[in-house]
């Protein structure tokens, strides 16, 4: 294989890309740029661990149960600690919140606070870790609302439409970082030989014609009539309502991986409200560090994210780990879900 020589490939690192983006904001201070670097660095470190999980004794469970009531995998804990420790001393953040931690994560008092808020799911798709299936990290960045000092819960509970930036890392056949700061969605692939995220997917737009739908149909019996009929529509068996051609089902059980495939190929991911567990009538997935950041990215790529009734980005979060039903992907498919729910629920 002829390797492209440096001069004939336009190599854009994520650092250069973010700097170029921030240059278009005259008031930009560069802090967001550095914050995104820090997150990319955390992604590189986590990636280095996920690719050798089986070798480094970090497969399997820790034996702890987290605030979600789920067993914490060793890689969940490692990713969670990595992101916190890489960001808690940079004077860029007022406060953080993690899927793995019950309460907000205060900046240690020996460090200064900054103007941003970082919310994150350190490792998404944990149930897949031991089976070598793609997993990911999801993050959302907001401006702090409080004036100064240590950030508060209020800083973490903001509507998705006020998000400053969002993104995810996906640890799969390659490691990618996909982010938006409100000016389109851009994808970078980690080149392990140089340890850089290089621009490979500029200005991602969700394709007009959707190719996939992603949902855990094993739970169909727990779904509402509207969601069941929407699913039958996607399957092409709902009378007098033909779905888009060539829709196929793909469901990996890692939201980031399902979302990423649908973003690039067109499609919808949904995790509806279900009666499976009376403690969680709104389904399994969380608003502030799963649904909202991925909806912001979808919207920036020409798609849409809804809770079945309204734009997910309009929802005012009431609590850190609040769960919401979510339908995210091609606008037409998400609006079709809303239509079925309106009509039959």
Q: What is the contact surface with ligand AHG in residues (CB under 6 A)? A: 99, 121, 124-127, 216, 253-255, 284
Q: Work out whether the CA dihedral 277, 282, 287, 290 comes out positive or negative.
A: positive
| Pairwise CA distance, residues 176 & 152, whole Å | 31
Instruction: Answer yes or no whether residue 258 interacts with Mn ion by CB under 5 A.
Output: no
- Beta carbons of 167 and 181 less than 8 angstroms apart: no
Instruction: Answer yes or no whether residue 121 interacts with Mn ion by CB under 5 A.
Output: yes
Residue 284 binds what, of Mn ion, ligand AHG, none (CB under 5 to 8 Å, by partner type)? ligand AHG
- State which residue, 129 or 331, has the beta carbon closest to Mn ion: 129
Contact residue for Mn ion among 21, 77, 80, 99 (CB under 5 A): 99
Query: To the nearest whole angstrom, how small is the minimum distance from the Cβ of residue 121 to Mn ion?
Result: 4
| Contact range with Mn ion by CB under 5 A, out of 91-99, 185-193, 194-202, 243-251 | 91-99
Query: To the nearest whole angstrom, how small is the minimum distance from the Cβ of residue 329 to Mn ion?
Result: 17
Six token digits for residue 98: 């993690």
- State which residue, 168 or 304, has the beta carbon closest to ligand AHG: 168
Query: To the nearest whole angstrom, how small is the minimum distance from the Cβ of residue 120 to ligand AHG?
Result: 10
- State which residue, 34 or 139, has the beta carbon closest to ligand AHG: 139
Instruction: Answer yes or no whether residue 77 interacts with Mn ion by CB under 5 A.
Output: no
291: helix, strand or coil:
helix
**What's the alpha-carbon Rg for the chain, to the nearest Å?**
20
What contacts 57, CB < 8 A, 6 or more positions away? 74
Instruction: Answer yes or no whether residue 124 interacts with Mn ion by CB under 5 A.
Output: yes
- Beta carbons of 112 and 91 less than 8 angstroms apart: yes
Q: What is the dihedral of CA 185, 182, 255, 197, to 10 degrees?
A: 50
**CA 326 centroid distance within chain:** 13
Q: Which residues bind Mn ion (CB under 5 A)?
A: 99, 121, 123-124
């Amino acid at each position: 294989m002829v390797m492209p020589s440096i001069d004939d490939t336009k190599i854009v690192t994520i650092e250069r890309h973010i700097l170029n983006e921030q240059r278009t904001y005259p008031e930009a201070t560069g802090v967001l740029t550095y914050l995104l670097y820090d997150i990319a660095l955390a992604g590189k470190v986590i990636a280095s661990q996920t690719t050798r999980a089986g070798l480094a004794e970090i497969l399997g469970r820790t034996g702890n149960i987290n605030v979600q009531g789920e067993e914490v995998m060793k890689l969940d804990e490692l990713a969670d600690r990595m992101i916190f420790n890489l960001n808690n001393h940079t004077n860029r953040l007022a406060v953080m919140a993690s899927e793995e931690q019950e309460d907000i994560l205060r900046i240690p008092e020996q460090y200064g606070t900054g103007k941003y808020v970082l919310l994150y799911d350190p490792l998404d798709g944990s149930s897949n870790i031991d089976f070598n299936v793609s997993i990911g990290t999801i993050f959302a960045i907001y401006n702090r609302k409080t004036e100064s000092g240590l950030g508060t819960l209020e800083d973490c509970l903001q509507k998705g439409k006020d998000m400053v930036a969002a993104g995810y890392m996906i640890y799969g056949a390659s490691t990618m970082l996909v982010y938006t700061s409100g000016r389109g969605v851009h994808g970078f692939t980690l080149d392990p030989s140089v340890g850089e995220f290089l621009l490979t997917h500029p200005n991602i737009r969700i394709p007009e014609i959707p190719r996939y739908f992603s949902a855990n149909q094993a739970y169909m019996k727990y779904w509402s009539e509207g969601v069941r009929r929407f699913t039958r529509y996607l399957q092409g068996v709902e009378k007098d309502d033909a779905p888009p051609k060539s829709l196929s089902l793909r469901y990996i059980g890692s939201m980031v991986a399902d979302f990423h495939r649908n973003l690039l190929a067109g499609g919808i991911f949904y995790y509806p409200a279900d009666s499976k567990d009376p403690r969680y009538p709104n389904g399994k997935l969380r608003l502030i560090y799963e649904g909202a950041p991925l909806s912001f990215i979808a919207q920036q790529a020409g798609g849409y994210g809804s809770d079945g009734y309204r734009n997910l980005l309009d929802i005012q979060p009431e609590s850190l780990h609040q769960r919401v039903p979510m339908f995210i992907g091609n606008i037409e498919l998400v609006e079709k879900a809303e239509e079925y729910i309106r009509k039959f629920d």
